[in-house]
């Protein structure tokens, strides 16, 4: 079968493309913006990429066209396939119907941490010899890929709440037949499609309704937004975790989260099960790890195995990925998209580096960030940085100056990417730490900056 994917270079659709290729299909695809690491993965998999949306690519007609959720009416390919009655569906529908319906699905959902937690869970299951299939919205740092069919009954999927396609406004995750559901957290995000937090919670309750009675829902005990969703109706087993609270608990052994112990609340008393000492930092990553450990335990992985495997976990590209180190200066790349994610990332880095200078270079890239929805929360999320360099592209329509006016942190705004590169070079002082924060390509800043730093 020839499957053509419109919008193939997004992290989700690119992963779907790799799974379709592994099933033996001929896979092609197109997109308007192509950039690594997904473009590299697709080319390595032998998938033909077409730049742009010229409808001639749909003639002769493929057997099936999958449409990414970034595409809408008015797109030349979308209009052509509708006019010519070509067969099409969304990526989530294809995934659910083709691969997930007959497998034990471990779905990782939530506003933050989905990619990292999915990667942790996949690494644990692989390390335990269970050969899971997986689809993750990112690329592991250990050289792995973002998707694989696997060889067993288990399948790990990053379960996104964003809509499925222009013709299916349900969240992707309702298609996934979840058996083990991990909800990391629920906050307001995706202001382009959700009016408020209640609208997001409604979609999460649709997801909860799909989990069977013999299934399990895992979540942090302190998240009131999740509790509100479950209070509307829950028919599955619940397992909670937290810092000093919940069915499972963790205790930090290092302030930066680089070492922690895991305990389970059984028969009325806490029993120590293991310790994780790893290269990651931040309390948010400890929470991510707890979810992965509990989910893996539910399908037969011992806590000792999980702790050992996570202690060697390398991390995920663009999640505080170290790109450059020289003369005490360190450059990181982070997929920041929300004030909470920014705050927890910088908090973890501050706990690691102490009084060293931290420079945050931020592109407001997500739909919510571009609209300035979070306002004061965004300014407050930067408290652990020493300097902020904002990149104001033409898409940013809100007043950055207004939210930063009362900040005690040094800040500046740059409107040109070439000027941004020079400012980053100027601020790359020995002993300092610079974090590039964007959930997009940042107009190639990482590659261009690395080229300058190397010289």
Residue 227 in this model has a pLDDT that exceeds 90: yes
Closest listed residue to residue 452, CA positions, set 407, 430, 419: 419
What does the pLDDT look like over 368-419, one tens digit per residue? Answer: 555 555 566 777 888 899 999 999 887 777 788 888 887 888 999 999 899 9
Query: Taking 70 as the threshold, does the pLDDT of residue 146 lie above it?
Result: yes
Which long-range contacts does 30-33 make (Cβ < 8 Å, 24+ apart)? 30/4, 30/5, 30/6, 30/57, 30/77, 31/6, 31/7, 33/9, 33/441
Instruction: Give the number of other Cβ atoms within 10 Å of residue 407's Cβ.
Output: 13
pLDDT digits (tens, 9 = 90+) for 326-365: 888 999 998 876 787 888 889 888 988 899 999 999 888 6
Per-residue confidence (pLDDT) for residue 373, from 0 to 100: 56
| Res 11: pLDDT | 84
On the 0-12 / 13-18 / 19+ scale of CB atoms within 10 A, 168 is middle
* pLDDT at site 268: 66
Give 152-208 pLDDT, tens digit per residue: 899 999 999 989 999 999 999 999 999 999 999 998 776 667 778 899 999 999 999
The predicted structure's pLDDT at residue 37: 66
CA-nearest of 277, 275, 17, 287 to 147 is: 17
- Choose among 30, 193, 178, 174: nearest CA to 92: 174
Dmax of the chain from CA atoms?
A: 66
Structure confidence at residue 112 (pLDDT) = 85
Q: Which domains does the chain have, with CATH numbers?
A: 2-86 (3.40.50.720), 93-311 (3.40.1190.10), 321-454 (3.90.190.20)
CB neighbours of 447 closer than 8 A, spacing ≥ 6? none
The predicted pLDDT at position 252 comes to 93
Report yes or no: 67 and 90 within 8 Å, Cβ to Cβ: yes
CA atoms within 13 A on the CB side of 298: 26
Residue 397: C-alpha distances to residues 68, 95, 365 (Å): 26, 36, 12
| CA 402 centroid distance within chain | 29
On the question of pLDDT at 451 being above 80, the answer is: yes
Q: How far is CA 222 from the centre of its chain?
A: 21
User: What pLDDT, on the 0 to 100 scale, is given for residue 343?
Assistant: 87
**Which residues are 117's β-sheet partners?**
none
Mean pLDDT of 83-102: 97
CB-CB neighbours of 107 under 10 Å = 28
Mean pLDDT, the chain, rounded, equals 89
* Model confidence at 151: pLDDT above 70: yes
For 269-300, the pLDDT digits (tens) are 767 689 999 988 888 899 999 999 999 999 99
- Section 418-436 average pLDDT: 93
Q: Which two tokens stand for residue 186?
A: 């629920």
pLDDT at 189: 74
64-67/2-6 β-pairing: parallel
- The pLDDT of residue 314 is 82
Q: What is the pLDDT of residue 365?
A: 67
Q: Is the pLDDT of residue 66 over 70?
A: yes
Give the CA distances from residue 117 to residues 135, 273, 370, 376, 398, in Å, rounded to whole numbers and listed in that order. 12, 20, 26, 28, 32
pTM: 0.83
User: pLDDT band for position 145 (50/70/90)?
Assistant: confident
Q: What percent of the chain has pLDDT over 70?
A: 94
Long-range (24+ apart) CB contacts under 8 A made by 262-269 are 262/290, 262/293, 262/303, 262/307, 264/303
| pLDDT digits 0-9 by tens, 301-326 | 999 999 999 999 987 777 788 889 98
Q: Which pLDDT tens digit goes with each residue over 236-270?
A: 999 999 998 899 999 999 998 999 999 987 666 76
Question: Greater confidence, 336 or 37?
Answer: 336
**C-beta atoms surrounding 425 within 10 Å:** 12
pLDDT of 96 strictly over 70: yes
Say what the pLDDT of residue 36 is.
66
């Amino acid at each position: 079968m020839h499957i053509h994917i419109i919008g193939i270079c997004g992290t989700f659709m690119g992963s779907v493309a790799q799974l379709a290729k592994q099933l033996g299909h001929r896979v092609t695809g197109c997109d308007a913006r192509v950039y690594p690491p997904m473009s590299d993965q697709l080319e390595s998999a032998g998938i033909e990429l077409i730049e742009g949306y010229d409808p001639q690519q749909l003639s002769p007609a493929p057997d099936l066209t999958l449409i990414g959720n970034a595409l809408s009416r008015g797109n030349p390919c979308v209009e052509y396939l509708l006019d010519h009655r070509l067969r099409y569906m969304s990526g989530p529908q294809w995934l659910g119907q083709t691969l997930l319906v007959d497998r034990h699905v471990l779905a990782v959902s939530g506003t933050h941490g989905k990619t990292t937690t999915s990667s942790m869970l996949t690494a644990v299951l692989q390390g335990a010899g269970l050969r899971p299939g997986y689809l993750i919205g990112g690329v592991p740092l250990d050289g792995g890929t973002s998707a694989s069919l696997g060889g067993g009954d288990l399948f790990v999927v990053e379960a996104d709440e964003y809509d499925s396609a222009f013709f299916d406004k349900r969240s992707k995750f309702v298609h996934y037949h979840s058996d083990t559901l991990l909800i990391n957290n629920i906050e307001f995000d995706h202001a382009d499609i959700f009016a408020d937090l209640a609208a997001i919670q409604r979609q999460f309750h649709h997801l909860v309704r799909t989990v069977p009675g013999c299934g399990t829902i895992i979540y942090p005990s302190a998240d009131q937004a999740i509790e509100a969703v479950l209070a509307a109706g829950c028919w599955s087993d619940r397992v909670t975790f937290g810092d000093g609270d919940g069915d499972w608990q963790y205790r930090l052994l290092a302030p930066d989260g680089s070492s922690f112990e895991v305990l389970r609340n059984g028969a009325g008393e806490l029993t120590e099960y293991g310790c994780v000492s790893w290269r990651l930092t931040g309390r948010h990553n400890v929470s991510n790890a707890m979810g992965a450990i509990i989910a893996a335990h539910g399908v037969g992985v011992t806590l000792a195995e999980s702790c050992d495997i996570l202690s060697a976990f390398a991390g995920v590209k663009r999640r505080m990925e170290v790109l450059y180190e020289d003369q005490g200066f360190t450059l990181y790349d982070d997929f920041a998209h929300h004030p909470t994610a920014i705050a927890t990332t910088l908090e973890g880095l501050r706990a690691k580096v102490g009084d060293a200078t931290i420079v945050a270079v931020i592109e407001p890239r997500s739909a919510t960030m571009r609209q300035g929805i979070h306002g004061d929360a965004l300014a407050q999320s930067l408290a652990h940085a020493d300097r902020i360099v904002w990149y104001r592209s033409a898409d940013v329509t809100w007043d950055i100056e207004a939210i930063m006016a009362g900040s005690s942190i040094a800040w500046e705004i740059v409107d040109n990417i070439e000027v941004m590169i020079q400012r980053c070079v100027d601020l790359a002082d020995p002993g300092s730490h610079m974090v590039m924060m964007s959930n997009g390509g940042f107009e190639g800043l990482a590659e261009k900056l690395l080229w300058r730093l190397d010289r």
